Amino acid sequence: MVGSETKPFVFVSSFTEENESLRSDIFDMGQSLGRYTWVCENKSCRPDLYGREPLEICDTLMDRVREARLYIAIIGGSRRGEREHGTAVMIGDRVSATSHFEIELFQAALLGKPVELFISKGFSPGPRLRALLEILEFALPNRDWRAPMGESEIRLEIEHLLQSKRLLEPNPLGRRRNAMRENLVARFYRERGRPSHKRLRFLNGEYEQRSRLPDKDLIKDLIAKAASTPDQERKLARLWLVIRELMPAAPSEPRFAEYLPFWDQALGSWGSAAAWYGLHAHLYLGGLAALQSVADVRALLRDRDLSRAVPAETAPPSTALASALYSIAKLAPTWSDRRALLDEALGHLNVASVDSSRTKSNVLALRGSILLKQFRISEAVSAFEQALRLRTVAGESQARIGESMSELGFAYLWQGRLWKGRDLMQKGVENLSDHENGFLVRARRKLAVGYTLTGCPMMARREREKGDEIARAHRMFDQL
């Protein structure tokens, strides 16, 4: 058997009330072909879901989609109302705007999984389901979908997919993965990121018409749950529930001004989580898109609430935008694209609002990283030294000082000051050691470079392994 209940070969998603015999047949077909096929509504596939909290169920579904080599969605029926896009996720006694089917489709889109979409004959999407498919259209295999099929035709097509030799390879992309990622980064930049193009927005600016307004208490609860979750994939899932709840209250509509602070929180948190998760490209689900939507929301906050707006809270997210562009630039395959992205990032830093020594040190630290990528080594070292000095004088936390030590020590390596740089990076890791987060992972990776350059390969390997362990545990794929 290829695959298992926890690591299925294929994940099949559909609505609970439709296609019951078809779902059962697909599961049996997978068993007979030796390809474990996870069918959500089949009891053989989900013994661990009964009696669980809805968010735990969502987490399990996302895990299964992650492990699967292919995602198949079967859409059929003609339901209307709240259940037309699947069974809603309950948060306590509240009904969210998101269904379990949507969580599965969202995860497939987030991961860039191969998606095969089958439409049953007689399918008639209602407004809720049609809106969902339009919002995630960029993740579907083609714009026209397949022609509607009968159950026998769908069985035959899925049987062919289950026998695909391409899917039998453990890693179909093999060594080409990094090259393909770089090419995608470049393609998306050229299609969506240049000044002549329409400005990138989260989900391409799609919203949804619904009669029910967002539940503010539910939004607050989910934002708190996201904030307390160290796992970046789980965080994004909870933020997706928030964003889908907010969908009928489009920020551009003056009558929904009361929801602007929630949009600011949700999209800002998405930008941060997406960065650690590794969504670095001009993607509709990426961090840059979310942050550019945050800039729009904050401009509206400034315009609509001038008497009460706090400048620091409504300022453009310039530093975060610079960070997102810097992360994309690191993956760009050509120097011309990389240079343009880094220059754009510096442009945001030049207009960043600096209202305290803390924010000034953040700007300096990021400026140093960008300058280092531009091979302006002395300027980078100077920026890092200023950032460390500011944090030390201000008596900031050991972790924040440790971050600066790590960054400065790494810059010293570029100047050939290997031992000085290594010693400073060691102190940085020590200061961060009580914080299992992305900054510690990043510091360990940099220290590994220092150990390698000073002739300590075993110690370098140890640091990389410790960093990778944390990154995998919290799904910080940007740091792997």
Q: For position 45, what pLDDT does the model report?
A: 57
Count the Cβ atoms, other than its own, within 10 Å of residue 388: 25
Same fold, 177-353 and 354-480: yes
Do the Cβ atoms of 383 and 361 come closer than 8 Å? no
Q: For position 306, what pLDDT does the model report?
A: 52
pLDDT reading at 420 higher than 70: yes
Query: Which comes out higher in pLDDT, residue 26 or 308?
Result: 26
Q: For position 173, what pLDDT does the model report?
A: 44
Single-letter amino acid code for the residue at 165: K
Q: For position 309, what pLDDT does the model report?
A: 58
pLDDT reading at 236 higher than 80: yes
Helices vs strands, H then E, count in the chain: 20, 6
Q: Which of 17-21, 98-102, 358-362 has the weakest average pLDDT? A: 17-21
> Which whole number is the average pLDDT over 265-287?
93
Measured CA to CA, the distance from residue 448 to residue 452 in angstroms comes to: 6
Q: What share of the chain has pLDDT > 70, as a percent?
A: 88
Q: For position 308, what pLDDT does the model report?
A: 59
Write out the CATH class of domain 354-480: mainly alpha
Average pLDDT, the chain: 87
Sorted by sequence, the CB contacts under 8 Å of residue 372 that are 6+ apart come out as: 380, 411, 414
Q: Which of 80-94, 153-167, 349-363, 442-456 has the weakest average pLDDT? A: 80-94
pLDDT tens digits along 431-455: 999 988 899 999 999 999 999 999 9
Do the Cβ atoms of 478 and 326 come closer than 8 Å? no
What is the fold, at CATH topology level, of the domain defined by 177-353?
A: 1.25.40
Q: For position 398, what pLDDT does the model report?
A: 96
Q: Quick one: which H or E segment has residue 233?
A: helix 232-246
Q: For position 172, what pLDDT does the model report?
A: 46
Write out the CATH class of domain 10-172: alpha beta
Query: Which comes out higher in pLDDT, residue 191 or 390?
Result: 390
Best CA proximity match to 241, nearest among 81, 57, 71: 57
Q: Which residue has the tokens 């998606």?
A: 115
Structural domain spans, the chain: 10-172, 177-353, 354-480
Q: For position 106, what pLDDT does the model report?
A: 85
Q: Which of 89-98, 152-161, 244-253 has the weakest average pLDDT? A: 89-98
Q: At how many degrees (to 10) do helices 418-432 and 398-414 cross?
A: 160
> Which whole number is the average pLDDT over 205-224?
91
Q: Which of 78-82, 221-225, 252-256, 413-417 has the weakest average pLDDT? A: 78-82
Residue 297's pLDDT band (boundaries 50, 70, 90)? very high
Q: For position 256, what pLDDT does the model report?
A: 94
Residue 304: strand pairing partners: none
pLDDT reading at 93 higher than 90: no
Q: What single string gives the DSSP state of each residue in 187-205?
A: HHIIIIISTTSPPP-GGGG
Query: Which comes out higher in pLDDT, residue 129 or 23?
Result: 23
Measured CA to CA, the distance from residue 133 to residue 138 in angstroms comes to: 9
Per-range mean pLDDT, top range of 5-14, 241-250, 299-308: 241-250
pTM to 2 decimals? Answer: 0.86
> Which whole number is the average pLDDT over 374-384?
97
pLDDT tens digits along 142-199: 545 567 888 899 999 999 999 987 777 655 444 445 665 777 788 888 888 887 777 8
